[in-house]
Amino acid sequence: MTAQPGDQVMIPRGFLCSSALALLLLITTAAGEQILVEPTHATIESKEGQRLLVVFATEDRPVLTLKPKGGAWDWSRESRLVIPVENPSDEALTLQLRVEDQKRRSLTGKVAIAPRSSGNIAISISAPPPLSMGMIAGPSLAPAGLDPGILPVTATDGFIDAVEVASVRLGLLRPSSPRRLVVGPLRVEPDHSSYDGIVDSFGQFLPGEWPEKVSSVEMLRAKGDEEERALAQWLAGLPKRDRFGGLLDTGGFRATGFFRTERRDGRWWLVTPEGNGFFSIGMDVIALTGETYVDGREFMFRDLLPPDGELAAHWSERDDRASLWPRSDRAFNHGRAFNFYTANLQRKFGPDWRERWREETARRLEAWGFNTIGNWGEPKLWTMHSLPYTVPLWLEGKLWEGGTPDPFDPRFPAAVDQMARNAAAQFRGDPWLVGYFVDNELAWGVGWSTDPREHYAVAISALARGPESPAKSAFTAQLIETYRQPEHLAEA
C-alpha cells in the first residue's frame, strides 16, 4: 500500500496506517473518522488484511504516531488501550509506548516482544500507574486464562486525562538494524483488572482458577505429598557420583580432602575432596525472603491474616529505601510487610517448618540437577552438608563511600587480611566449602548514563573528596604523571 500526502484511504475503524513517506498523512476510517498518521524514520512495507507491516529504520528513535484529526479522543468511558502486534523476526524487540493528552501530559512504558511471536499490547489509561501501587506492571488476568495473549506494558510512568487523548506513539530506541513489526487495529475497552482485592490469603492472584492454584491448606499439603513422591523418583534416577557430587568417570584426580582446582590437558577442573571432577551448577539466594509490603495498600489483599494470630511471626517492619538499587519512583517500599511464602511453609509443615523447608530445599535442588548452594544462601543450609556451598565475603570497616573500596587506603591491606582470617576461623576444615565470593557488583559507574557524574562515578567521586583521601591523592598523582601540564589535561 502506498499513499501520497493528503490522500484519503479507506481502512477499518481504528486501524493504524502510515506511508513510505515520512510525512503527515490524512487517513479516513470506514466509519468516516479521520485520523492523522505521522511516521518518523518508519515506513509501511505491506498491508495484509487488517494488518500493516511497519519497518523501523536504524535512525535514533523511529516512531509511528497516531493522532485524531481535530480535537481529541475521549476514552473516559474505557480504561485500557489494546494494540495487536506481531514480531516476525528472529530477534526480540522492546517497544516504547507513549500516550499523550492535549496538555502534553504523558503515560509511557515499554513492552518486550519475543521473536516470532504475537500478542496484544495493553496499558491502563485511567488506572493508577503500577509503580505507584508498588508493582512493575498492572495486574494481568492472563495467568488465570481470562486474558490470553496480553502483553502488559511495564515500567509505566506518568498519567493523562482520558477525556482529551491527543496521540499514541509506538517506537524503538536506537535499533541496530531495520526492525519489522506487524501492527493491527487498536481498540479501547474496559479494564477488568482493578487493584481491589486482587491477592488472596495465600498470596496468589485472586481472579480465575488454574490447576496449580491453592484453595486450602489441605490442598497445599496434598501437593507437597505429590512432590515428595516425584522427588524420590528423580533422585533414584540420578547418575552415580561421590558424596560431594563429583563425576566418577572423569579419570580420577588426587584426593586432598578439600575442593580445589587443577589444570589438566589445557583445561581447568574443579576437584572434589574425594578426587573426582566437579561441574558446579549452583543456585543463588536460597533463603526465606519474599516479604510483600502491605502498609497503605491493604485494599489489594483479601483476607489479610491478623498480626496477632497463628501466623503472626510472618509480619514484620521493613525499609528498602536505602537498599542496593532503591527506586525513588516506586511506592510501598517500607512499613508493615507480610511474607506469604514463609506463612505457606508453616501451613504446609507446621511448627517445625524451617527445618522441614531446609530438608525439602536440599532434596529439590539435587533432584532438579543442582549440586551447589550458590552465593547468599541461608547459612544453616551450609551446615547440613547435603550440598557443597559457597560463602560471600565483604571488607569490614568504612573504607569507602558509594560501594567501591579504596585500595589506596593504608587500612585496606589490614582489612583484607582480617576478612580472610575471619573466614578461615569459621570455615577452616570444612570439606563441603567450594570457595568464597569477595564482594559483588562493585559500582564503577552507570555505563549507559549520559550524565558524566554517573558515567564516571568512581573518578568523579575520588576527585570530589578532600585532600585526606588516598584515592584522590593516587588519582591526582597519575594525572600529573600522565599530562604534566594542566592545559594538556584540559585538551585531553
Residue % of the chain over a pLDDT of 90: 53
Residue 317's beta-bridge partner residues? 336
Res 5 pLDDT > 60: no
pLDDT for the residue numbered 24: 57
| pLDDT at site 12 | 38
What structural domains and CATH numbers belong to the chain?
A: 10-189 (2.60.120.430), 392-438 (no CATH), 452-491 (no CATH)
Report the mean per-residue pLDDT for the chain. 85
CB 282 within 8 A of CB 370: yes
Any idea which of 157-161, 276-280, 441-445 has the lowest mean pLDDT?
441-445
Are the C-beta atoms of residues 388 and 413 closer than 8 Å to each other?
no
Q: Given this model, what pLDDT does residue 316 score?
A: 95
Strand, coil or helix: what is 116? Answer: coil
The neighbour count for residue 359, using CB atoms within 10 Å, is 13
Q: Does 159 have pLDDT greater than 50?
A: yes
Q: How confident is the model at residue 462 (pLDDT cuts 50, 70, 90)?
A: confident
Average pLDDT (78-98) is 92
The string of pLDDT tens digits covering residues 109-139 is 999 999 999 999 988 887 777 777 777 777 7
- In 3D, which of 376, 463, 444, 454 has the Cα closest to residue 405? 444
Q: What is the CA radius of gyration of the chain?
A: 29
- Closest alpha carbon to 226 in 360, 344, 355: 360
Distance CA 329, CA 156 (A): 11
Q: Which pLDDT belongs to residue 373? A: 97
Q: Which long-range contacts (CB under 8 A, 24 or more apart) does 132-137 make?
A: 132/331, 133/195, 133/297, 133/300, 133/331, 133/332, 134/293, 134/297, 134/330, 134/331, 134/332, 134/333
pLDDT category of residue 6 using cuts at 50, 70 and 90: very low
- With vertex at residue 125, the alpha carbon angle to CA 170 and CA 84, rounded to the nearest 5 degrees, is 45
And the C-alpha cell for 318? 521493613
Confidence band of 224 (pLDDT split at 50, 70, 90): very high
The whole-angstrom separation of Cα 37 and Cα 26 is 7
Determine contact, residues 342/358, Cβ cutoff 8 Å. Answer: no
pLDDT, tens digit (0-9, with 9 covering 90-100), for 423-457: 999 999 999 999 999 988 777 777 777 788 888 88
pLDDT value at residue 449:
75
Q: Which residues contact 60 (CB under 8 A, 6 or more apart)?
A: 41, 174
3-state helix, strand, coil in the chain (%, to 5): 25, 25, 50
State mean pLDDT over 51-73: 87
% of the chain beyond a pLDDT of 70: 87
Residues 6+ apart with CB under 8 A from 376: 284, 285, 286, 287, 392
